[in-house]
Amino acid sequence: MKNSKEISASVISRLPRYYRFLCDLHSKGVIRVSSKELASIMGVTASQIRQDFNCFGGFGQQGYGYQVEQLKNEMSEILGLNEIKTAILIGAGNLGRAVASQLSFEDKGFKLVAIFDCDPLFKGMKIRDLPIKGDDEIEAFCNEAKPDMAVLCLPADKAPEMVDELIRLGIRSFWNFSHYDIHRKYPDVCVANVHLSDSLMTLSYKIKNNDGNW
Amino acid sequence: MKNSKEISASVISRLPRYYRFLCDLHSKGVIRVSSKELASIMGVTASQIRQDFNCFGGFGQQGYGYQVEQLKNEMSEILGLNEIKTAILIGAGNLGRAVASQLSFEDKGFKLVAIFDCDPLFKGMKIRDLPIKGDDEIEAFCNEAKPDMAVLCLPADKAPEMVDELIRLGIRSFWNFSHYDIHRKYPDVCVANVHLSDSLMTLSYKIKNNDGNW
């Protein structure tokens, strides 16, 4: 099994997809799956699956296949989904509300514990039983609850100041929907960026070059 | 210059980021930038930038740097941002509304021309001056307007049937926020997937393994 630092970003980015397919197989009552079958379902090669799994010490027995439930549980363990981290969400506009209301955080390793917005119009409104609090309550909340992660759904121009503040308050990981490049100022924090406009431009490129999915 | 089929997915996925940084430099009045300067701003290596740009025939002169405006325009051309494709959006829930209202499609190569939802509650509501139409109007609209792309903001269980219908109506590219794996049934269409829950699970992994951004 490789040290986590040696595992490439592209292997890591494929883990959630393995996990999703394994959950699906498990929910359908499938007990065992070969790398060949899993590859065919996922549209990748069996060799890629074996290589990826080998980064974590492999999970199967040669010629025997993988136990679906066991592999799903190991994948969940690797992804840290069983260790629930607390999260706050900053910015309750359309995007923030979509993220807070449509996504199930709990089975992805997080629990959403508070939502903040600078607009007093939102104050007191609720999303998933969480009242939207004002930005002026962030400091007291963080000092008290010490959340692990912040979801940033605020405009890029407001993000730098907010990130400074959140880092001062002890937050060290961010799910970042803004275009602010947190890592340039804070190289040591954990960040997953969601760049919707980059994704849309990539689709434009694919259409221009008539590429299929990859 | 490489054939577009030979350019790796990871190079392509970096192009929108180059484009964003070049737009930013251009808006700040920067005329010329060296690969070393651009690398430092973007937090990558100068060698990676040169390698990536070489896939498209390179853009600079040795020791002279890149003309920011020209490079921005070439990048826009490569991404196909100047050739506006028409897009419809399916699913006007929180996520669909966030995507339709918060994202500027026009400068990313697309024009949003219609929004559909199966819920009659939404009918007649407007997002960005576009009235939300009922699902029963999709066929007539597609036959008339022949849109190029569909943004899928509907639940995964409703996606397969909708994709069958849209493909029957001539749509060949999708910006897919649902978890439905379009490419398994239709390997030849263009798809960019946005898997928010995969991104959240990746963040969980990074936190567990105390990885920084990459």
Contact of B212 with A189, CB cutoff 8 Å = yes
- B204·A13 Cβ contact <8 A: no
Q: Is residue B94 domain-shared with residue B47, that is, in the same domain?
A: no
Q: pLDDT by residue (tens digit) across A81-126?
A: 999 999 999 999 888 998 998 888 999 999 999 999 999 999 889 9
pLDDT above 60: residue A134: yes
Domain that holds residue B135: 85-198
Q: Which of A43-57, A102-116, B140-154 has the lowest mean pLDDT?
A: A43-57
The token duo for A54 is 């080998």
Mean pLDDT (whole number) for A130-141? 96
Element (H, E) at B163: helix B159-168
A111: closest CA of chain B, how far (Å): 11
pLDDT band at A4 (very low <50, low <70, confident <90, very high): low
Mean per-residue pLDDT, A2-16: 80
Within a domain: residue B210? Answer: no
Distance CA A14, CA A19 (A): 9
What pLDDT digit, counting tens, does each position of B157-211 carry? 899 999 999 999 999 999 999 988 898 899 899 999 999 999 999 999 999 987 6
> Given an 8 Å threshold on Cβ–Cβ distance, is B80 in contact with A196?
no
DSSP states of A4-38 as a string? GGGS-HHHHHHHHHHHHHHHHHHHTT--EE-HHHH
Strands (DSSP E) found in chain B: 32-33, 66-67, 85-90, 110-117, 126-127, 130-134, 149-152, 173-176, 190-193
Tally the residues of chain B.
214
What is the least distance, in Å, from the CA of B126 to any CA of chain A?
A: 14
**B194 and B94 in a common domain:** yes
Q: What is the pLDDT of residues B71-81, one digit of tens each?
A: 999 999 999 99
Q: How far is B139 from chain A (nearest CA, A)?
A: 22
Q: Are residues A67 and A172 in the same domain?
A: no
Residue B39 falls inside a structural domain? yes
Nearest CA distance, A28 vs chain B (angstrom) = 15
Chain A residue whose CA is closest to B198: A16
**Residue A62 pLDDT exceeds 70:** no
Specify whether A112 is located in the same domain as A183: yes
Interchain CB distance below 8 Å, B175 and A12: no
A80 contacts on B by Cβ (under 8 Å): 204-205, 207-209
CA distance A186 to B82: 35
Q: Pick the residue of A151, A195, A205, A214 with the most B CBs within 10 A to test the interface with B by mutation.
A: A205
Kindly determine whether residue B16 and residue A195, on different chains, have CB atoms separated by under 8 Å. Answer: yes
**Confidence at residue B176, expressed as pLDDT on a 0 to 100 scale:** 96
| Residues A128, A89 within the same domain | yes
**B108 to chain A: nearest residue by CA?**
A201
For residue B56, what pLDDT is reported?
Answer: 84
Query: pLDDT tens, B96-130?
Result: 998 998 888 999 999 999 999 999 989 889 998 99
Nearest CA in chain B to A200: B108
Please check the confidence at residue B213 and state whether its pLDDT lies above 70: no
Confidence category of residue B214, pLDDT binned at 50, 70, 90:
very low
Chain A nearest C-alpha distance from B136 (Å): 25
The mean pLDDT value of chain A amounts to 90
Residue-wise pLDDT tens digits, B19-61: 999 999 999 999 999 989 999 888 889 999 988 988 887 776 6
First to last CA, chain A: 28
> Does residue A209 form part of some domain?
no
**Which of A79, A99, A124 delimits the end of a domain?**
A79
Considering the domain boundaries, does residue B211 fall inside one? no
Once rounded to an integer, what is the mean pLDDT over residues A133-143? 96
Query: What's the whole-model pTM score?
Result: 0.87
Residues A53 and A59: beta-carbon distance below 8 Å: yes
**Angle subtended at Cα B194 by Cα A153 and Cα B118, rounded to the nearest 5 degrees:** 90
At B116, give phi and psi (nearest 5°). Answer: -125, 145
Rounded CA Rg of chain B: 20
First to last CA, chain B: 27
Q: Where are the beta strands (DSSP E) in chain A?
A: 32-33, 66-67, 85-90, 110-117, 126-127, 130-134, 149-152, 173-176, 190-193
| Closest CB from B103, B192, B212 relative to A202 | B192
Asked if the Cβ–Cβ distance from A108 to B83 is below 8 Å, we say no
B204 assigned to some structural domain: no
B-interface mutation test, from A83, A204, A208, most B Cβ less than 10 A away: A204
Identify the CATH number of the domain in which residue A192 sits. Answer: 3.40.50.720
Asked whether residue A89 is assigned to any structural domain, the reply reads yes
Query: Are A68 and A90 members of one domain?
Result: no
Do A189 and A94 lie in one domain? The reply is yes
CATH of the domain at A73: 1.10.10.10
State the Cα–Cα distance between residues B5 and B27, nearest whole angstrom: 32
Q: Nearest chain A Cα to B10, which residue? A: A10
Rg (C-alpha) for chain A, rounded Å, is 20
CB B195 within 8 A of CB B182: no
- Residue A88 buriedness (CB in 10 A; 0-12 / 13-18 / 19+): buried
Give B3's pLDDT tier (boundaries 50, 70, 90). Answer: low
| A10 chain-B contacts, CB cut-off 8 A | 10
In a domain, B208, yes or no: no
pLDDT at A123: 85
Give yes or no: residues B38 and B70 share one domain.
yes
Query: Are B194 and A194 an interchain contact pair (Cβ–Cβ within 8 Å)?
Result: yes
Q: Which residue of A has its CA nearest to B192?
A: A203
**Residue B124's pLDDT is what?**
84
Q: What is the pLDDT of residues B129-139, one digit of tens each?
A: 999 999 999 99
Among the listed ranges A48-57, A137-146, B27-36, B159-168, which one has the minimum average pLDDT value?
A: A48-57
Are A38 and A60 members of one domain? yes
Last residue of a domain, one of A79, A113, A134: A79
Are B58 and B99 within one domain?
A: no
Residues B35 and B113 in one domain: no
Q: Record the tokens describing residue A163, joined without a space.
A: 């990130």
Average pLDDT over residues A46-62: 83
Phi, psi angles (nearest 5°) of residue B127: -125, 120
At residue A8, the pLDDT reads: 83
Q: For residues A64 and A162, state if they share a domain.
A: no
Q: Is residue B13 part of a domain?
A: yes
Give the domain-ending residue among A79, A101, A131: A79
Note whether A80 and B205 are within 8 A (CB).
yes
A213 pLDDT more than 80: no
pLDDT band at A41 (very low <50, low <70, confident <90, very high): confident
Q: Could you tell me if A179 and B20 are in contact, meaning their C-beta atoms sit under 8 angstroms apart?
A: yes
Are β-strands A66-67 and A32-33 bridged in parallel, bridged antiparallel, or unpaired?
Answer: antiparallel
For chain B, give percent helix, strand, coil, nearest 5.
50, 20, 35
Q: What is the pLDDT at residue B117?
A: 95
Most A-contacting residue of B207, B210, B214 (CB-CB within 10 A), to test interface: B207
Number of domain units in chain B: 2
